[in-house]
């Protein structure tokens, strides 16, 4: 894996995660949305997002990234996300990442 994730990229990924992927299904605290109705901390998925973004920057295919998300969902989080939301998340994430 090569590359580095910028603060802006991580911020964008957090937003996309909250809007599109978010397999836990609870809203995240993203600045103006802090409070009891947004119980997940903003960094809840950072470990997963960093791994996905580094793989993306290293040239991973959409299929490889999809498999990684499914692995996170099923084996780590114990939940399976929706395929259409997963694919939309990957498309949007790919557009927000600066290539290496």
pLDDT of residue 63: 96
Helix, strand or coil for residue 79?
Answer: coil
CA distances, 40 to each of 20, 32, 82 (Å): 15, 14, 19
Instruction: Count CB atoms within 10 A of the CB of residue 81.
Output: 20
Of residues 65 and 97, the one with the higher pLDDT is 65
Instruction: List the chain domain ranges.
Output: 7-96
Give DSSP secondary structure letters for 13-67. Answer: HHHHIIIII-TT-SPB--STT-BTTB-B-TTTTHHHHHHHHHHHHTT--HHHHHH
Residue count of the chain = 100
Residue 66 CA to residue 83 CA, distance in Å, equals: 9
In this prediction, residue 1 has a pLDDT band, given cuts at 50, 70 and 90, of very low
Of residues 98 and 15, the one with the higher pLDDT is 15
- Per residue in 15-59, pLDDT (tens digit) is 999 999 988 888 888 865 556 676 788 899 999 999 999 999 999
């Amino acid at each position: 894996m090569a590359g580095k994730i910028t603060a802006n990229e991580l911020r964008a990924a957090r937003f996309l995660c909250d809007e599109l992927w978010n397999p836990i299904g609870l809203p995240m605290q993203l600045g103006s949305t802090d409070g009891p109705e947004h119980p997940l901390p903003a960094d809840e998925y950072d470990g997963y997002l960093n791994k996905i973004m580094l793989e993306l920057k290293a040239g991973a295919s959409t299929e490889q990234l999809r498999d990684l998300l499914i692995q996170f969902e099923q084996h780590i989080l114990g939940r399976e996300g929706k395929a259409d939301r997963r694919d939309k998340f990957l498309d949007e994430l790919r557009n927000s990442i600066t290539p290496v």
